[in-house]
A = this chain, B = another copy of it.
Amino acid sequence: MSTGRPRVVIVGAGFGGLACARRLRRVNVDATLVDRTNYHLFQPLLYQVASGLLDPSNIAKPTRSILRRVKNVEVLLAEVTSVDLAAHTVSTSAKVLEYDYLVLAAGSVTDYFGNESLRPRTARLKSLDESIGLRSRLLRCFEQAAVCTDAVRRHRLLTFTVVGGGPTGVEYAGAVAELIKHVLPKDYREIDFREVRVALLEAGERLLPTFAPRLGASAQRNLEKKGVDVRLHAAVKDIIGDEIVLDSGERFGAGTVVWTAGVRAAPLADSLGVPIVRQGRVEVTPSLCLPDHPEAFVVGDMAAIIGGDGVLPMLAPVAIQGGRHVARAIDARLHGRADPVFHYHDKGTMATVGRGAAVAQIGPIHINGLVGWLLWLFVHLLYLVGFRSRALALWSWAWNYFFYDRPVRLITTPPGDT
């Protein structure tokens, strides 16, 4: 494409990048959307892939197919290796892209708060491959435990520790607890399920710290009813041998450890040479561009956007609204209008705690239980891209609701890969 129109490069096909690309359809530019995967991933449902409820294709859709009708945006499958803000270029594994406007929406990665030795010892839930790998890993533990006559090793195989009491940790722990309570006992008659242990460790004083205390408490009761051992004030210091060591000095068996405790902006943020704030996020103006590079915008988890109560959280709606805002801002500049100011409309946050139970917080309204779950279901169906994904996710949720089943219990990754 060499139309003489301004060139936009968008880095990342997550919620922010995709929202921007879609909105650019009506803007007189040529854009390239770069991502290292060929799909847009509905990250909030990764835990349902990891727990065997959804197929990968229910929550991942090819980016090219989503943007089929957006003729002025081309899609590039490549890894971004560096951004040169002075030269207005983005280097990728495939080619170098020049831009007039840059939109950085590379998202976030798992953070170990400096203790990188935890990485090889833990599983993560940030990508599709990680979720499929975690599904295989969990099921393989049960297969091995079924034939294990060594009580110590069997105990290790049947212990699952989720670190981090935010939405991802709470949702995954709830899903695993239900898998263990309702589904696996029918499959593994050899296993005494009283030996299975699911623990959820949260460093702070309550679960779901970004929600109202009442909802965090409700989530905790719900998880405990499912048999999850919830530990508050339990900051993980290290994992030594097969033991988790807490800051308090307490130690206990780790088993399979899933780390959801920390996220930080994608490392690309650090490489820009611009001011970085908490969680590695990039400081932006009220119009979401870099103070010294107005042609470069940052949205989503990568951006530290000042909202009502401080920096806005790393949530899909923040990214989506940011992406749309940037498309509007570029359009405004092309027409010589002043930059619009970004305002985040908080439509609320929610987290499922398992079959038929969720917590939701919409401004002053706090909802839990079945009503929260139905609301959660409605909102997630709304945000899933495409009719097919919606229909199949609804089918899977109904299937789980009525049959207590997790049909995608496939071990597809070789042992070494998980």
> Can you give 20 contacting A-B residue pairs, CB < 8 Å?
A38-B139, A38-B411, A39-B410, A39-B411, A56-B408, A57-B407, A60-B410, A62-B187, A62-B409, A64-B187, A65-B187, A65-B409, A74-B189, A74-B190, A76-B146, A76-B147, A77-B143, A95-B147, A128-B412, A392-B392
A94–B188 CA distance with the chains assembled, in angstroms: 16
Q: Does A278 sit within 8 A of B, measured CB to CB?
A: no
Do residues B143 and A410 form an inter-chain contact, with CB atoms below 8 A? Answer: no
Q: Does A186 sit within 8 A of B, measured CB to CB?
A: yes
Q: Does A119 sit within 8 A of B, measured CB to CB?
A: no
Known: A74-B190, A76-B147, A190-B74. A409 touches B139 (CB 8 A): no
Q: Does A399 sit within 8 A of B, measured CB to CB?
A: yes
Give the size of the chain A interface in residues (CB under 8 angstroms). 44
A69-97 interface (Cβ within 8 A of B)? 74, 76-78, 94-95
A58–B410 CA distance with the chains assembled, in angstroms: 11
Q: Does A182 sit within 8 A of B, measured CB to CB?
A: no
A386–B278 CA distance with the chains assembled, in angstroms: 50
Do residues A65 and B186 form an inter-chain contact, with CB atoms below 8 A? Answer: yes
What chain B residues lie within 8 Å of A414 (beta carbons)? 129
Do residues A56 and B412 form an inter-chain contact, with CB atoms below 8 A? Answer: yes
Number of this chain's copies in the complex: 2
| CB of A384 to closest CB in B, whole Å | 13
What chain B residues lie within 8 Å of A60 (beta carbons)? 410
Given contacts A62-B187, A64-B188, 5 further A-B contacts (CB under 8 A): A56-B412, A57-B408, A64-B187, A95-B147, A392-B395
Do residues B37 and A411 form an inter-chain contact, with CB atoms below 8 A? Answer: yes
Q: Does A132 sit within 8 A of B, measured CB to CB?
A: yes
Known: A68-B186, A77-B143. A399 touches B388 (CB 8 A): yes
| CB of A248 to closest CB in B, whole Å | 38
The 8 A-B residue pairs with the shortest CB-CB distance, nearest first, are A64-B187, A55-B55, A77-B143, A57-B408, A62-B409, A38-B411, A94-B147, A55-B57
Closest to A61 in B: B407
A146–B32 CA distance with the chains assembled, in angstroms: 13
What chain B residues lie within 8 Å of A76 (beta carbons)? 146-147
Do residues A57 and B410 form an inter-chain contact, with CB atoms below 8 A? Answer: yes
A414–B57 CA distance with the chains assembled, in angstroms: 17
A188–B68 CA distance with the chains assembled, in angstroms: 9
What chain B residues lie within 8 Å of A147 (beta carbons)? 76, 78, 94-95
A49–B307 CA distance with the chains assembled, in angstroms: 45
Closest to A57 in B: B408
What chain B residues lie within 8 Å of A146 (beta carbons)? 76
What chain B residues lie within 8 Å of A187 (beta carbons)? 62, 64-65, 68
What chain B residues lie within 8 Å of A129 (beta carbons)? 412, 414
